[in-house]
Structure 1
Amino acid sequence: MNRVTQMFAFSKRNPDLPLMGAAYATTQPEIMPFAYGFPAPQAFPVEAFQEAAHSALLLEGTRALQYTGGPGQKQVVSWIIERTPLRGMEAGLHQILVTTGSMQAIDMATRVLTDEGDDVWVESPSFFGTIRSFITNGLNIRSFPIDDEGLCVEELEAALQDAKRLGEKLPKLLYVMPHYQNPSGITLSVERRKKLAELALHYDFYILEDDAYVELNFSGDYIPSIYSFAPERVVYISTFSKILAPGIRLGWAIADSEVIERMKLFKPDGLTSVFVQEVVGQMLQKMDFSAHIKRLNEMYRVRRDVMIAELRRVFGDGITFQVPDGGFFLWVRFPEGVNTTDMLTHALECGVSFLDGQNFYLTGIDGTRYARLCYTYCDEASIIKGVAALHEASIRCRCPQ
């Protein structure tokens, strides 16, 4: 029998976009992977995981492997509650939701706070993963520039004033990464945090505060979250991926209890991996977390400094970037004549990868001279080798082939 297969009409929520993100990264041993937004393999507390997993099975095995889980869930939430005062925050049990990574928290909050066709505003550049989540949720996205103090709040306020005066739609949501922004590495100033909180309250929109990198803080100083200034209009989101291991897929959201209850309706998997929470709960009770974070920050500070020194030595004044005080990334601007998208193929041929800037803008033309370089994954020797390869790739990109 001959079958005639007709073209199936897939959901309009499936945009024609290539797969991107750490989960889809391919490993090529000969390539220095500056493209990876990965923590260092040496950062993983493997022995602590082994001991915690053994304890979880020995002490709570039957409960931890059941749908409802064991006491580890309460231990994880208790740790989050105890840690939040560092950001000027207070949160109760009913204001916290543990999720399958921070991206699930972002997606669920977006579903709760917006409808298809609503407006959402973002930084420019911004994290491509969240932009894609907004696209699949059918939202209209508008971007606003950043400078060395973060999001340009004056421009955002002027746009809000204009929209209200003209009777146009106001945003339902503003997405901000306040610490060591991905990709720029910039930290939002306290004054601008306060102003954003005021604007959210005055114009009645929510802020998604994605604070994934907050613990990777090379100065040791903590500044208040946006949430601390307007808890009734902010959903605060963070993750264990950058500080323990991304493979455990644990993140969390802090928000008003009504928002959290509504978010649970969009969590079809029920409770987030209760066995993983049991293991992490055991770890957080027993490990010296402050010492662990100190070790991570010392390692990453050294790697950042090596990358900066090599970039300046090899490229001289040919490139520019702002030195981040923490996080994973350097955001490098190349000189006139270098298109970083065109440079990708040359870079792979030379033995290094990076993410070209167009991935972080709503229109690709805005990022054609930028590259995001991750300094956390590679060791110092690999960073030096990778920067040399990057320089060779930039020369090839500018020379006629």
Structure 2
Amino acid sequence: MVKQLQNYQYAKYLPSSPSIGGTTVTDPFHVHLSFGYPSTHLFPIAELNHAASNAILNHGTQALHYSGGDGPRKIIEWIRNRSKIRSIYVKNKQIITTAGAMQAIDLAAKVLVNPDDEVWVEGPTYFNALQSFRMAGAKIKSFPIDKQGVQVDLIEETLVKARQLNKKIPKLFYCMPNFHNPSGVSLSLERRQRLAQLANEYNFYILEDDAYSELSFKNSYPPAIYSFAEERVIYVGTFSKIIAPGIRLGWIIANDEVLQNIHLLMLGSQTSPFTQQIIASLLEGISFEDHLEQLISTYRQKRDIMIESIETFFGDDVTFDIPEGGFFLWLSFRPEVVTTNFADEAFRRGVSIVEGKSFFETNQGSNQLRLCFSYCNEEQIRRGIKILAESYYAHYR
């Protein structure tokens, strides 16, 4: 007779919500307008095959050890040199590689945040970052965005009042200054500078998540917030959007003290030396600028097709800002609209989106949703928007 196990109490901060945006759907005809994924056909398959072969045949005896071969050093040097276009000038020792940007965000949260500490964010903001801050036990406060990004003047007002009333100031402010997820807007230069000044003045860290900055449809690269406050900004980048997400390779740029603490959390290990060897070989074997131009050209075209489809099928019943880069469109409906009412219908008909409420800590975003134009092909985008509109008008006329 098998003894029945007692109930077990798991960690209190484990997420309770299911996967977002139909991530478990395997139907090949399903239209995933929810997926914040790169376009599959843009993966440099042949080049990666050659790079992997070179890594194993020519560097395998070192790259497969804990310490790796010369791949990690080459990746760090590539990151350091590439960062100069964002006015980031650092030494190799100020860069550490991670298993994607999400691990970088999570490590930063664990290093900086204790339970009941304040973490401030943009509203809306990236839902997985919110989950990381919740799991750290943070109290989360959000600040609205407009066409120029987060409204830094409201952040400043709140900081001034907190100091006057002897209340907590944030340990961390998390933001995505370029082609924000989900809204697609970018933070203005003036606001970048002021936010950096506030971090120095009020002694909090800015966690600058810059996952999409390479995908600028106008080839414009404004200076990173990091460039204005090197001691109070943790900068995060990733290869997921420019090479492939499955390689799980990102990075952190920060001051020595932050990186020393992150190294402690990583228990002395480094991010897959063999993967870094492959990507180092890849970057040496391709013209990165040509590769990047192909990405930008494709995503710009997909954005335009999605905008054209929205205008055709929704007319004036939605509003959105036109992103100049990245992956996303952020749709707003009339205040009385609740996207759940038609998102479920669209899902049953084979189209998934991410509802706006997923991007807020508080009860907001019920009349908003995020669409991704990068993953689906042109036919899927048109068909998906048509089905989404039909589902909407079945409830709201």
TM-score (norm 2): 0.97
Give the Cα–Cα distance (whole angstroms) in 2 for the partners of residues 54 and 271 of structure 1: 22
Report the 3-state secondary structure (helix = DSSP H, G, I; strand = E; otherwise coil) of the residue aligned with 1:381.
helix
- Residue 257 (structure 1) aligns with: 256
Deviation at 1:388, TM superposition (A): 0.7
- Residue 56 (structure 2) aligns with: 57
- Residue 390 (structure 1) aligns with: 388
Q: 1:15 to 1:246 in 2, by over 3 A?
A: closer
**Residues 19-30 of structure 1 mapped to structure 2, 5 A cutoff:** 19-20=19-20, 24-30=23-29
Structure 1: runs of 5 or more not aligned: none
Matched, 1:214 2:213: yes
- Residue 39 (structure 1) aligns with: 38
- Residue 134 (structure 2) aligns with: 135
Q: 1:391 to 1:169 in 2, by over 3 A?
A: same
CA contact (8 A) 1:32 1:386 kept: yes
Letter in 2 for 1:373: L
Deviation at 1:15, TM superposition (A): 4.0
Give the Cα–Cα distance (whole angstroms) in 2 for the partners of residues 69 and 78 of structure 1: 15
CA contact (8 A) 1:226 1:234 kept: yes
Matched, 1:379 2:363: no
Report the 3-state secondary structure (helix = DSSP H, G, I; strand = E; otherwise coil) of the residue aligned with 1:367.
coil
Give the Cα–Cα distance (whole angstroms) in 2 for the partners of residues 219 and 15 of structure 1: 38
Per-residue Cα deviation, 1:297-325 (whole angstroms, up to 9, x for no partner): 00000000010011111111111000000
Report the 3-state secondary structure (helix = DSSP H, G, I; strand = E; otherwise coil) of the residue aligned with 1:184.
coil
Per-residue Cα deviation, 1:61-106 (whole angstroms, up to 9, x for no partner): 1111111111111111010011011001111111001000011111
Report the 3-state secondary structure (helix = DSSP H, G, I; strand = E; otherwise coil) of the residue aligned with 1:324.
coil
Give the Cα–Cα distance (whole angstroms) in 1 for the partners of residues 156 and 237 of structure 2: 26
Give the Cα–Cα distance (whole angstroms) in 1 for the partners of residues 15 and 286 of structure 2: 43
Give the Cα–Cα distance (whole angstroms) in 2 for the partners of residues 142 and 336 of structure 1: 22
CA contact (8 A) 1:341 1:358 kept: no
Q: 1:327 to 1:14 in 2, by over 3 A?
A: same
Give the Cα–Cα distance (whole angstroms) in 1 for the partners of residues 368 and 167 of structure 2: 33
Deviation at 1:21, TM superposition (A): 7.7
- Residue 5 (structure 2) aligns with: 5
- Residue 247 (structure 1) aligns with: 246
The percent identity for this pair of structures is 43
**Residues 134-153 of structure 1 mapped to structure 2, 5 A cutoff:** 134-153=133-152
- Residue 47 (structure 2) aligns with: 48
Deviation at 1:116, TM superposition (A): 1.6
CA contact (8 A) 1:339 1:397 kept: no
Give the Cα–Cα distance (whole angstroms) in 2 for the partners of residues 43 and 370 of structure 1: 30
CA contact (8 A) 1:346 1:397 kept: no
Deviation at 1:26, TM superposition (A): 3.1
Give the Cα–Cα distance (whole angstroms) in 2 for the partners of residues 78 and 273 of structure 1: 17
- Residue 188 (structure 1) aligns with: 187
Q: 1:286 to 1:15 in 2, by over 3 A?
A: closer
Give the Cα–Cα distance (whole angstroms) in 2 for the partners of residues 15 and 229 of structure 1: 35
**Residues 64-79 of structure 1 mapped to structure 2, 5 A cutoff:** 64-79=63-78
Give the Cα–Cα distance (whole angstroms) in 2 for the partners of residues 164 and 294 of structure 1: 47
Deviation at 1:25, TM superposition (A): 4.3
Picking from 365, 368, 382, the partner of 1:367 is 365
CA contact (8 A) 1:21 1:129 kept: no
Q: 1:306 to 1:205 in 2, by over 3 A?
A: same
Give the Cα–Cα distance (whole angstroms) in 2 for the partners of residues 301 and 331 of structure 1: 16
Report the 3-state secondary structure (helix = DSSP H, G, I; strand = E; otherwise coil) of the residue aligned with 2:74.
helix
Decide which moves more: 102-111 or 223-232: 102-111
- Residue 297 (structure 1) aligns with: 296
RMSD of equivalent CA atoms: 1.4
Per-residue Cα deviation, 1:334-362 (whole angstroms, up to 9, x for no partner): 23543112222111233311001110011
Give the Cα–Cα distance (whole angstroms) in 1 for the partners of residues 20 and 248 of structure 2: 17
Aligned length in residues: 397
Q: 1:272 to 1:9 in 2, by over 3 A?
A: same
Deviation at 1:285, TM superposition (A): 1.3
Matched, 1:287 2:286: yes
- Residue 313 (structure 1) aligns with: 312
CA contact (8 A) 1:234 1:255 kept: yes
Give the Cα–Cα distance (whole angstroms) in 2 for the partners of residues 40 and 240 of structure 1: 14
Q: 1:25 to 1:218 in 2, by over 3 A?
A: farther
CA contact (8 A) 2:87 2:227 kept: yes
**Residues 320-339 of structure 1 mapped to structure 2, 5 A cutoff:** 320-339=319-338
Q: Structure 1 stretches (4+) deviating beyond 3 angstroms?
A: 19-22
Decide which moves more: 386-395 or 207-216: 386-395
**Residues 74-93 of structure 1 mapped to structure 2, 5 A cutoff:** 74-93=73-92
Per-residue Cα deviation, 1:250-272 (whole angstroms, up to 9, x for no partner): 00000002211111111148111
Letter in 2 for 1:101: G
Give the Cα–Cα distance (whole angstroms) in 2 for the partners of residues 282 and 14 of structure 1: 38
CA contact (8 A) 1:338 1:394 kept: no
Letter in 1 for 2:220: D
Per-residue Cα deviation, 1:371-400 (whole angstroms, up to 9, x for no partner): 10000111111111111111111012337x
